[in-house]
Chain A
Amino acid sequence: MRRDRIENTPPVAVTEIDLLAYADGLLDDPRRLAAVVAFLDGNPAEAERIDAYIEQNREMRRLYDPVFHEPLPEHFLALLESRDDARPARPWLRTAAGVAALLAAAAAGWLLGQEQSAEPVATVIEQSAAPVARQLRVAPEPAVAAPAEAIGAGRLVR
């Protein structure tokens, strides 16, 4: 009897924490998720507030994501290299930067894909890997050029 009642009523009380987590896409528990959705359906004012929070996240990303894709300043790489007192192992680090840019390209593809049409991330990664692979073979390429190149590739991919 009691069990039935517990199972039939959705007794999840929605808290402010749930709402925040929902806005941040961090609410994994399906029961809480359902409760939040139901709650927002019944509370237009709260729904508006939470929508505003979701939009805040988008705005912050729109505003600062370009920094993510900028070519890395030479002095950052030089800094890492200079402390790498081991061997003259220069190209590998620059490749790391290339990989970072590649991940950036993939992330960009993913984010764009989220907001516009869905573009399979795998394709972006696969195809934008080409320039870095090329760079690996042609070892002492100027590092700073790499990010732009990789990003360009990531963006242009169809």
Chain B
Amino acid sequence: MDARGHDDPPEPEGAPDVTCKDVTWLIAREIPHLRRYAAALARDRSEADDLVQDCLERAIRKRHLWRRHGSIRGWLFRMLYRTFVNGHRRRVRERTQVQIEPSGEGLHVHERLCEPPRQEDHLEWLDMADALQRLPDGQRAAVLLVALEGMSYDEVAGILDVPVGTVRSRLSRAREALRQMKTRRRGAATLRRVK
């Protein structure tokens, strides 16, 4: 196709649509990646789709800024994560305003909205989804980028906007927490069966 690419002179706005079109094409190709990550990051699918939608809107608006950020995937994931963090803060704020929670339980809202298929095969998977949701956001965000996208720790650091050392410690804690949760759950299941 018309691959007028990299060494175009810098274009101010209103410039030929070729480049923007190319970028839009590249963005479209990343949608499945963004959806998969968002589905794992968010609490439910509708929140996940909202995240992707917001991310795509921003990406299209800012597509002329992309070039200097390296890979388009990294750029988009960065945007998605920021949208997630901002949305999360907003939700927490809203919740604190609406509910006055005197008890220590406070903001412990636990919604699993996806209707869970109750089959044996899926049991372990649901456990993982649940366990992931119990991780702190930053840890979940990091471990999912590695597991789902196979990203290097440096890439993850770039997306989450933290030093690579922080990524490593988050990963380390996330891994261990997931393992502990699984062990505990397995223990609980055995107990039930014994009874």
Residues of chain A at the chain B interface (Cβ within 8 Å): 16-17, 20-21, 23-26, 49, 52-53, 56-57, 59-65, 67-70, 72-73, 75-77, 79-80, 83-87, 89, 92-93, 96-97, 99-101, 103-104
Contacts and interface: CB of A to CB of B under 8 A. Distances in A.
B178 interface: yes
B29 A100 contact: yes
Contacts of B85: none
Contacts of A49: 179
Contacts of A20: 168, 171-172, 175
Given A63-B125, A75-B53, A79-B56, A89 B31 contact: no
Contacts, number: 118
A16 to B, nearest CB: 6
A53 B36 contact: no
Nearest to A72: B31
Interface residues of B, number: 44
B36 A68 contact: yes
Contacts of B37: 64
B31 A97 contact: yes
A149 B31 CA distance: 17
B40 interface: yes
A17 to B, nearest CB: 6
Contacts of A87: 17
Interface stretch (B3-11, B20-28, B93-101, B105-113): B20-28
Contacts of A77: 28
A115 to B, nearest CB: 15
A44 B194 CA distance: 28
Nearest to A103: B29
A73 B36 CA distance: 13
B17 A96 contact: no
A33 to B, nearest CB: 15
A19 to B, nearest CB: 9
A67 B28 contact: no
B175 A53 contact: yes
Given A24-B146, A49-B179, A84-B24, 14 more contacts: A16-B172, A17-B168, A20-B168, A24-B147, A26-B152, A52-B182, A56-B143, A57-B147, A60-B128, A60-B147, A75-B53, A83-B60, A83-B61, A97-B28
B57 interface: yes
